[in-house]
Amino acid sequence: MTIAKKALPYLLAVIASFIAAGIFIALMGFDVFKAFETILFTSFRTPNGFVQTMLKFVPLVLLALAFTIPLTAGKFNIGGEGQMMAGGIGAAAMGILFPDLPAILLIPLVILGGVVAGALWGLVPAWLLYKFNINEILTTVLFNFVAFFLIDYVCTGPWRDPAAGHPTTVAISKSAWLPLLVKNPPLHSGIILAVLVAIGIYIYTSRTTGGYELIATGANPRAAGVFGIKTRNMFVLSLVLGGAVAGLAGAFEVAGNQHRLIEGMQSNFLQLGLIIGLISRGNNGAVPFVAFLIAVLEVGASAMQRTMMIPVEMVFIVEALILLFVLLSDVVRRK
Amino acid sequence: MDDKPILELKNVRKVFGQIVALDSVSFTLKRGEIHGLLGGNGAGKTTLMNILYGLYRKDKGEILLRDQVANIQGPRDAIKQGIGMVHQHFLQISNFTVLENIILGTDVKNKYTMKMDEEVVKVKELCQRFGLNVDLNDTMSTLTVGARQKVEILKALYRGVDILILDEPTTNLTPQEVDALFVSLRVMVDEGLSIVFITHKLREVLSVCDRITVLREGKNITTLDHNDASEEVFVRAMVGEKMDIENSIYFATEVRNGFDRTTAEAPVLELEGVNVVSPDGVPQLRDINLEVYGGEILGIAGVAGNGQRGLAEVVIGVIPVTSGKKKFLGEDVTSKTNESLLRSGFSYIPEDRISDGFLPKATVAQNLILGQHRIKPYSDGRFINWKTVFSETTRNIEEYNIKTNGPDDIGGNLSGGNIQRVMIARAFSMDSCLLVAHNPTRGLDIPSMDFVYQKMLARRENNQATLLLSEDLDELIRISDRIAVVYRGQILGVLDRGEFDKYAIGRLMSGITSENQPAEEKAIS
Amino acid sequence: MDITVINFLKLVLLSMVPFVLAAQGTMLGGRTGVFNVAQEGVMLVGASIGFLVSYYSGSIFLGIVVAMLSGGIFGLALAYFTTTLKMNQFVIGLSLFFIGLGVSTLLPKLILGITLTPPLIPTLKSIPIPLLSQIPFIGPIFFNQNVLVYVSVLVSIGLWYFLFRTQKGLELRSVGEYPMTADSLGINTTKMRYWSAIIGGTLIGLAGAYLPMVYAGTFTEGMTMGRGWIAIALTFFGGWSPLPILYGSLFFSAVEVLAFRVQVIGSFLPHQILQMLPYLATVLVMVFTFKRSRVPGFLGNNYDREKRSL
């Protein structure tokens, strides 16, 4: 099948969701075309818009991978948010506890802190699955809430920044800040690492025996087990890997973007990550591209709320509709 | 029997996707007859009857019931018009009671309290009349296959049907149970029912049916009175002109010699006093002693659910041995994982291909390398060599006659028979010292079955060992060198090829040995 | 002491309602095989719409009805996508969760504007039952509650009777166990799945509406705080049976109330630790009960009559 033919259902899904949203926006009495123009082109009009898009892209692609990696092995990780928050806490802790280390040591340490914390947050549901056969969907979700209160504790505890009106920690050491790729508007270098991670994951899943075992486990764990694949190890591996990637996103938010831990910095990246992962149909190779498109929409959405007073949730619903229509295209094809 | 047809199917056509399952098939059932519907797998027998029963919608054709055009939209209509069907895979709710299963879908008298005294009386009366004894309060999952079949038949009789369709009813019955079933069927016909008997077993049809219709590849070939034709006519009708019956193993009549163990070296596989207890404490296998030699095919007979699956999985290393020893070429491999066994020369065709052997969401190529994905030529241990995998897959698709769009077709698009061919290609494409094959020919048409038999006999020539577990007794007798019979996790006897006798094996299958009394009828699981 | 205990138990009963209703709704759908995982989103929509309708109409009752209807629409959508279009139940459930999440925040913003302080609505009043509420100890706990507490108990008992003591109930359960069987006996599996998903959806919508109408008096974003997900755990905990689910919700509610009370009274623990309790308790419960939980045989699967058995 040609690429054009493959892309067609996606294109139709996007158009259909925009039409549906357009009707709704028009009914609410807003200028539809101006709204769409804002949503689609804010990212490309100014350098700042593009940098904002990139800054959104980093956590989105990582959170989507945190979902699709376990999905390759047939496991649903709905805990990317908690893992990202844990990663943020781990990264912030490094940046606050070791302020005097030189950047060359501290930056890797901060990133490692985030990755390890995220991986540990993914390990808990993985272990429960391994040991007690507890469905991972619920445990990963529930640990999001646990992480939420943990971050609240950290942001209102000893590291609290009393000057901030919102629960926030003090800033991490300057030497923990990720170097900037572009000075103005500031774009941190985490994006390079994020893209490398995405490429690495793609190669791992599509070319290696380990990746094959993940795929086989996801396709039918029982059969994979019968033919010598240690499926429960695969489950744990995939969930921990997913947690690590989400933790990396948390570390980037702290060390690259905010330079401190802020309650609520997880935004709605989890839901968007899931939407990206599902639109990509779990294909790790497609994730970066879909993530970029969603980042464009998200940046456009904020601009639209600022300039036109249309709530950002409008675009979130558009994104959910795109997902639904993409899924529907399967049904149409089956017929 | 009078000659008036009670049911006529005219020029029925049914297409699944791109596969024509039925191509203008016609069928006539007379009042008070047992009508055999004979054909290999994929001939369309079940599809035809599912259309009659309203489970499938026909694309073309006409159904005449008692001389009137019948419009059957679903099973509800079929039941209303007096048609009942006993499916090959029993359609029962395993955690409901027998009574609940029988009355399900009918209107009971006390809809809002479910006090069912009247219904109980009615069912008990049916049990008595047709000699079908079951305890109405038993939970379905505790019953044997034979008892569950009785419930299926009772379900149909309870609804007062006068046309009863039985789909492969003798699968999983011992020869003795088959005889009892045939007696019951005669009673039903004498009481005025008409019966359609679907099967792929020629001898059965000849022994019980009044008339026989043969289907092949979705077309009806012929309908004959069973007295009017010889066995050869039916064989030819079933397999068509292309197949070479003379050299076929399926229809072979001449006697082949058994394996001569006196000249053999050490056995490839030995099981010594193997016991297996499942995690919930139920014993699955008890004191199994078996050996399989290179160049031998050891058959395992038994009614399904008597430990065959456990035996296969213990040998292949999927479930651990609780006590006892497992040796491979003289070396103790009791505690080795299935991964290392597969690596050292085991291959496996699992019983339940869909759940235990197949990756529906993966490609055909990915399916073919499962279990061999860490070894050459498919992989160097770290990276998969997809180029080799694809060329090998393409070759296997050809050799094993797998109908698919190519190596990267998604497995889920394959039909059951083709999935089975993938299992077979995977197991036979690599040289293996020991093949564990569980129902390897299930779902295959006769030429493909013959192909599998040829492959197994070739293994014999190459001094490779084969452990063949099968529910098809005819198949075991056809091809094994020895047959061991399992009953409730125990080996009750091992027969050499010279001593094969269907009824003797059947007795062992139902737990009767020369020393003991008939055992009571309860399944172990 | 006595008063504290009475107040505590009264509060437990009061807070169990969203758990009971959401879990019974989940259970009902699951009993025909339709596994809803959009609870969190559907509850939020119920809360949001119930709040808005009550606010503008001044009628709590109308708010409840519209919230239930909106839940029913989500149930209908779930049934349509899974039963008619045979799409993956879990993925569709997640999509509906996203849509619910979006709608529940979008609507108040569109209607009330992007404000910081949303308006209040009156909350549901306790209705003492004559005579019974006078019984010492038991009376104030059980018979002086708001109407939805009574409704949730009655719904549970009603569902139990329906599922296990009526012919339709038997038929419904058979659809969730093995629809091929039900279908082969002339039971309309599609209809069963639709109705159970729709009615299940209305119960979940009602569970959501309870939150602004009893707890907060207003709607806040994400106010369900994971109760929808906990309801799923509760359904497994209750073995997909109405009465065990009712008892189980008492436990989940007790943990929630306890965490809240201790927090108010004050303790050496940081309050965040207490707030984590319901979620950690849920995980713990799953560890101890999930293995033994009996699940409808066809849960989460779609039935396609003409799909040839492989």
Report the distance separating Cα B453 and Cα C77, nearest Å: 51
Q: Which of A71, A203, A220, A233 has the most B C-beta neighbours within 10 Å, making it the best mutation to test the interface with B? A: A220
Per the CB < 8 Å rule, is C287 touching A275?
A: no
The rounded distance, in Å, linking the Cα atoms of C290 and C275 is: 24
Q: Which of C81, C252, C279, C285 to mutate to test the interface with A (most CBs of A within 10 A)?
A: C279
Angle among Cα A293, C36, A119 to the nearest 5 degrees reads 55
Model confidence band, residue C282 (pLDDT cutoffs 50, 70, 90): very high
Residue C110: its chain A contacts at CB < 8 A? Answer: 28, 311
Where helices occur in C238-270 by DSSP H, the ranges are 242-265
Q: What is the pLDDT at residue A42?
A: 93
Q: Is the pLDDT of residue B84 over 50?
A: yes
**In the block, residue with structure tokens 């019948």:** B70
Tell me what the mean pLDDT of segment A240-266 comes to.
95
pLDDT at position C110 is: 87
pLDDT at A298 exceeding the cut of 70: yes
Q: Report the pLDDT averaged over residues A149-167.
A: 91
pLDDT class of C267 with cuts at 50, 70, 90: confident
Q: Are A242 and A64 in contact (CB under 8 A)?
A: no
Under DSSP, the state recorded for A169 is B
The pLDDT of residue B515 is 61
Q: Give the pLDDT confidence score for residue B262 in this predicted structure.
A: 67
Query: Which whole number is the average pLDDT over A180-185?
Result: 89
Residues from chain A contacting residue B374 (CB–CB below 8 Å): 209
What pLDDT, on a 0 to 100 scale, did the predictor assign at position B525? Answer: 36
| Mean of all residue pLDDT scores within chain A | 94
Q: Which two tokens stand for residue A223?
A: 């059969």
C-alpha B326/C-alpha B272 separation (Å) is 6
Q: What is the pLDDT of residue B253?
A: 64
Complex-level ipTM = 0.93
**pLDDT exceeds cutoff 60 at B524:** no
Chain-chain contact of C87 with A134 (C-beta, under 8 angstroms): no
Q: Give me the mean pLDDT over the B156-182 stretch.
A: 90
Q: Given CB atoms, is B75 within the 8 Å cutoff of chain C?
A: yes
| pLDDT tops 90 at residue C181 | yes
Residue A153 and residue A151: Cα distance in Å, rounded?
5
As a whole-number percent, the residues of chain C with pLDDT over 90 amount to 74
Min Cα distance B383 → chain A (Å) is 4
Q: Among C166, C186, C309, select the one facing B75 at the smallest CB separation.
A: C186
> Hey, is the C-beta of B355 within 8 angstroms of any chain C C-beta?
no
Mean pLDDT lowest for which of A214-228, B154-168, B169-183, C201-215?
B169-183
Cβ–Cβ < 8 Å for C32, C175: yes
CA distance A311 to chain C (A): 7
Q: In the predicted model, what is the mean pLDDT of residues B510-518?
A: 69
Find the mean pLDDT for residues A267-287.
94
CB contact under 8 Å between A223 and B374, yes or no, is no
Residues 6+ apart with CB under 8 A from B3: B30
Which band of pLDDT confidence, cut at 50, 70 and 90, is reported for residue B228? confident
Query: Which range, of B181-185, C143-147, C261-265, averages the lowest pLDDT?
Result: C261-265
Range ranked top by mean pLDDT from A55-69, B46-60, B271-285, B335-349: A55-69
- Give the Cα separation of C271 and C260 in Å (integer): 9
Interface of C with B in 72-111 (CB under 8 A): none
pLDDT at C93: 96
Asked if C41 and C101 touch (Cβ cutoff 8 Å), the reply is yes
Average pLDDT over residues A132-136: 91
pLDDT digits (tens, 9 = 90+) for B245-258: 777 778 776 667 77
> Is the pLDDT assigned to residue A2 strictly greater than 70?
no
Taking CB atoms and an 8 Å limit, are B57 and C306 in contact across chains?
yes
**Once rounded to an integer, what is the mean pLDDT over residues C80-90?**
95
Supply the DSSP string of B364-386, one letter for each residue.
HHHHHTTTTTTSTTTBSSSBB-H
pTM above threshold 0.90: yes
Distance linking the first and last C-alpha atoms of chain A: 18
Region B392-397: mean pLDDT is: 95
Per-residue pLDDT, averaged over B389-411, amounts to 93
Mind telling me how many Å the CA of A313 is from chain C's nearest CA?
A: 5
Per-residue b or e along B21-42, where b marks 16 or more CB atoms closer than 10 Å to that residue's CB: bbbebebbbbbbbbbbbbbbbb
Residue C91: closest CA among B276, B41, A277, B22: A277
pLDDT tens figures, C115-134: 777 888 988 888 888 888 88
Q: Using a CB–CB cutoff of 8 Å, tell me whether C181 touches chain B.
A: yes
Measured between its terminal Cα atoms, the distance across chain C in Å is: 65
